[in-house]
Structure 1
Amino acid sequence: MRLNKFVPSAMTRREDYTYKNKNTEMTNNSEEQQTSSSTEETIVEVVIQPPTPEAKVEFDASPAVITTQPAQPMPEHDDSIAVVMWEATVTGRRLIDEMINLGSFYVAQEEKAEGHDFNEYVMPYGKLPLNVIRNYNLRIVDTGRYRMLKEIRNNRMLKSKSEVAACNDFASWLIKLQKDNFPDKKIVLVFFEPRHSKILQLFQALERFRLLDDVNKILLGCVNGWDLLRQQVHDLKDEHRMVLKALADHHLGVDTPLESAVQRAQALHKILRKVHGGRINTGVLKENLISCDHLLEQVKKIKEELTKEAQWRPVFADMFRQGIKPRRRAGFLRHMLVESGITYVGLTETFKDKKDDGVVEVIKENIKGKNEADVEEVIKLLNQHLAQPDKPVRRGSGRRAPRTRSLCTATDLEKQQPASKIEPEENNNDPVKVIMDVIPSTPAVLSEV
């Protein structure tokens, strides 16, 4: 059987071609309709209006010129001021701490002027703290009969005086310096410290020893060199690097001595002179001047705050006898009470009338904006103390108890021994025995043989 292949005729080919053409025309028409609709939607008419006369005036106006303010010039040099550097070595930052070394330095602004320095050591009543021994190379030698200051590195004994004599010598040196070198000028003391602690100790000592009236006649005020260098030195912006050692290493050299107070005063003078361009600008010092009355007011204010803190001593006495963490905590809580204005006497009277509820009311009324845990701890401590004022509050510190001697007494030892072995005590206060010991015995007369 023979199979016949299907061969499409010409009619079928023509129909397929016409069908394809119709489909392509329909697709083209649909695309044209879509593009026309999209173009109609996106076309926006823009009408350009002629410029108004006001706009012409603004366009024709010249552009504004930005002017910068000129830098403020440096103040002029004041010839009525003499700059004297002052430094001290102290045992701490409190007013109760002691001064160990007083040093001062003065040199005229001329290039080849002779310098005048003052350096004296003071024998402190207490022991030197460890930071003073390490930083300033000093220690106290106690022989039993007398005490001496000694330099550890040079193994040299230092001549020291009392605080009264050292302050008197410093005041006399300032008066003589002003009288001999610049009788028509006033003195400005320049010190260097971020906190005004050393200079306050000096003014407290001068006021205590009645030397401040004589010093105020020649003293115009004080200037903190730390503030001056912080404003003008731009390469040491960090405050922790704004110490005299770092500044001396940067400007003067690594081997600059800074152990004694007079050496630090000389280094401060050289640094200020270099920063100011070879001559210390006294006009800048006058702008940053601190008056003597202001320093005395600060001393008075600190003493008043210490008096307010002392009234809370019975409450926090036990915490201050413990380690460093309880002591810091006690200081923080005590400062919070002092800052609020609550007095110990008033709180005691409130506790007698209203007991614990009265203490809670007073604390929450006066202490606001503080942490609730701190307020609750203060309330707990006050209630425990006021309930039993004679019994201190005990808190565990984790420290080892101090070693004590044996509690065995002499009577216990006597009970352990038999009565026959106990020797009676010798009575040295017997008048008959004392007289017999004093009167010498008459020598025997030897007969000649």
Structure 2
Amino acid sequence: MDMVSETQVNGGAETGELPPALAERPAGLPPGTYALVGWDMDTTGRRLIDEICQIAAYAPKQTYSQYIMPYGDLNPGARRRHSVRVVTVGRYRMLKDTNTHKILKTKSEISALTEFLDWLEAARGDAGSVILIYHEPRRLSPTMLLEALTRYKLLDRFKSIVSGFTDSYALAADKCKSTVKSVSLRVLARVLLDADTLSVDSALDRATAAYKIVEHLAQGEQQEVGAGGEGAPPSAHMVETARAWARPVSTELDALATLKTLLERQNTFRPVFAPLLRTVRPQRKRVTALRRLLADAGLLYDQLKDAWQEQKIEGLEKQLAALSVTAKEEDIKELIEIFDCHFDPAKEPKGPKPRAPRNKNRAGGSAGEGEGDAGDGSTSDSAASSVHHSPTKTNNAEAAVGDTSQTVANPEPVAAN
């Protein structure tokens, strides 16, 4: 994410990556007095309806970190990333650190968010408002935070404290593009900061690193990192850098609304893609990519259904011509085949065709590799088509707007604890 962890944002189609128009360099905030706070959080998954399980913040003179007891379980990917899981002890559900095997002290999500706003007010001090600094390629964390605040009717109070979000990932990508190949938090912590004393394992670690990366880049290459001393307030140049690279809260709320609309469009295609999303991982990623192409083009399931009923394949071709700007010809042909077979009861349903593996040496897969191995593109067509012969049921990843249709991702099934 990573905010919500670096590994979490790989594959934009699955994680709700914002459209290119929303991924441009930020316009910045108006001149004023701002307090800077590094911020990060961990969540139970990558959907808007997922919950926060830890929220943390860093300011030069104080820090904040609180674990949250979610109502649901963390999905397998989130458990691995955050090294926590929900366990049941007697009649009570608790959050456990899987590294230390200790039970963590938690609060409810609404209590932690309220306490976090109290902390931000104190951290603001005499400044006009706060800028939250985070590090993430896909801008997913701000939307998830704003959705959670909206859920508990805390958004208005948040907007009275926080003016915007500065993404240190975007700043580093601009400032360091000629010197480093990757601007992940772990790489930047090692290259720009003192890796021996600064880790990026916990939400608080990442919040601290994001703040210090902006601090370092604002100082410039000629100045020593931390020249102001540990605990010193941000320099005027750092504040100006964060202000210039910030997106207002209103911009992120617009992005959230756009993302919800996009994913609501995706959910209209549930009759076609829900069975396919229960296939092995390489095909699941392909399905989400195809579904995203349709949503980006503004298409809806009923449009394609009406077009097929009127003109069959020719009608589909006319509707999918809208994809020609953003999609490859093979993608369009594949979608036409999938929808034609879906609408025609005389034809066997088709799934996406497996993609050839990038590494030819792995084409056959090695012994011990699971079906869901992301690097293996050799899944057979029969494995995909067999899904269509099972009774159709709603997929969890499709049923949620609250993957940010309602979902930002397609989580793995969560085993009972």
TM-score normalised per structure 2: 0.66
* 1:90 corresponds to which of 1, 23, 43: 43
CA distance in 2, matches of 1:261, 1:231: 24
* 1:145 corresponds to which of 74, 91, 104: 91
**SS of equivalent to 1:102:** strand
**SS of equivalent to 2:103:** strand
**SS of equivalent to 1:342:** coil
* 2:337 corresponds to which of 380, 384, 396: 380
What's 2:56 paired with? 103
What's 1:80 paired with? 33
1:356 CA displacement: 4.5
* 2:189 corresponds to which of 229, 232, 248: 248
Q: Verify: 1:333 aligned to 2:290, yes or no.
A: yes
What's 1:203 paired with? 146
* 2:382 corresponds to which of 375, 396, 408: 396
- Say if 1:248 and 1:254, in contact at 8 Å, map to a contact too: no
For structure 1, list consecutive stretches of 5 or more residues without a partner in the other structure: 1-77, 108-114, 402-449
What's 1:157 paired with? 103
What's 1:186 paired with? 129
Q: Deviation per CA, 1:183-242, whole angstroms, max 9, x where unpaired?
A: x53211111122211122111111222111112122221211223334445785212xx2
Which entry has the higher C-alpha Rg, 1 or 2?
A: 1
1:159 CA displacement: 1.3
Q: What residue identity is the alignment partner of 1:268?
A: A
* 2:261 corresponds to which of 304, 308, 312: 304
CA distance in 2, matches of 1:399, 1:99: 36
Alignment of 1:29-48 (within 5 A): none
* 2:161 corresponds to which of 218, 226, 235: 218
What's 1:124 paired with? 70
- Say if 1:93 and 1:198, in contact at 8 Å, map to a contact too: no
TM-score normalised per structure 1: 0.61
- Say if 1:91 and 1:100, in contact at 8 Å, map to a contact too: yes
* 2:277 corresponds to which of 291, 310, 320: 320
Q: What residue identity is the alignment partner of 2:185?
A: L
Q: Deviation per CA, 1:427-448, whole angstroms, max 9, x where unpaired?
A: xxxxxxxxxxxxxxxxxxxxxx
**TM-align CA RMSD:** 3.1
1:269 CA displacement: 3.3
For structure 2, list consecutive stretches of 5 or more residues without a partner in the other structure: 1-30, 228-233, 352-380, 388-417
What's 2:24 paired with? none
CA distance in 2, matches of 1:273, 1:356: 57
Alignment of 1:395-414 (within 5 A): 396-397=382-383
Q: What residue identity is the alignment partner of 1:252?
A: D
* 2:245 corresponds to which of 288, 293, 306: 288
